[in-house]
Amino acid sequence: MAKDIERQKSIIIVGGTEQFNTIVKKAVAGENFTSIEIKRSANAARRLLMERSYDLVVICAPLPDEMGHQFAMDVCTTYSSSVLIVTPNEIMKDVADYVTDYGVMVLAKPVEYDLLRRAVKFMIAMQERLFAFDHKLRTLEKRLNEEKIIGRAKCLLIEKKGMTEEEAHRYIGKHAMDEGITRKLMAEDIIDDLT
C-alpha cells in the first residue's frame, strides 16, 4: 500500500514468552512501529490501553490471569486496535469460532514465522485503511459542519437583509476574502450580528 506519509504505529504483545516476543518483534520490524510494549497479563495490557491507543494487540494465549479470548473481544469492541490471538492448536478452532465475529484474527501454536509476518502485514494494511477512512470521515464531518454554519448565515441574510440565496452566497464569500478569513468565520460573524 503506497503511503504519502509513513504513519507511526504501536503494538502491545501480551502474555508471550521471551521467544514469542522476539518472533513478533522480528515480524513487525521495518513496519515503522515506534512503540512496542510487552505486558504479561490482560489486566496490565488493559491499563496500558486506557492510557493511549495502539494499532495492534498480539495475544499469546493462555494468559496468566485469563484465557485471552475475552480480552481479545474486549479490545475489539472498546478500541480501534487490530487484534491477533495465538492460541494452543487443540483449542484454536473453538477460540476462532468464539472471537472471529468480533474481528479477532486467530493463529495456532506453534506459529510459523512467515504466517505470523503475513498476518501482521495484513492487520497493518487494515489499520491503514481504517485510519485513512477515519481521516476522510473527519474531514467530511468538518466540511459539513462548515456548510451548516454558512447555510444558517445565508438564511439569516435572506430573512433579515432581503437578499437572494445567490446574493447571500456572494456576500459571505466577498466579505471573507476582504477580511482575510474563512467563509465559516465570516458566517459565524454574520450569525452573531443578526441574532
User: For each successive 10 residues of the chain (195 residues), what is the average pLDDT?
Assistant: 65 90 89 89 95 94 93 94 95 95 94 92 90 94 96 95 95 95 95 92
Closest CA to 14 of 109, 48, 110, 96: 48
pTM over 0.85: no
Digit-coded pLDDT (tens) for 56-87: 999 999 999 999 999 999 999 999 999 999 99
Q: Are 61 and 14 in contact (CB under 8 A)?
A: no
Bridge partners (DSSP) of residue 59 are 14, 85
Distance CA 53, CA 110 (A): 28
Cα 95 to Cα 45, 99, 137: the distances in Å are 20, 6, 33
Nearest 10 degrees: Cα torsion 106, 111, 113, 116: 0
Domain annotation for the chain: domains and CATH numbers: 9-111 (3.40.50.2300), 138-194 (1.10.10.10)
List of residues 6+ apart from 81 with CB closer than 8 A? 49, 53, 54, 55, 56, 57, 75
Is residue 120 classed exposed, middle or buried when 0-12, 13-18 and 19+ CB atoms within 10 A define those classes?
buried
C-alpha cell belonging to residue 149: 454554519
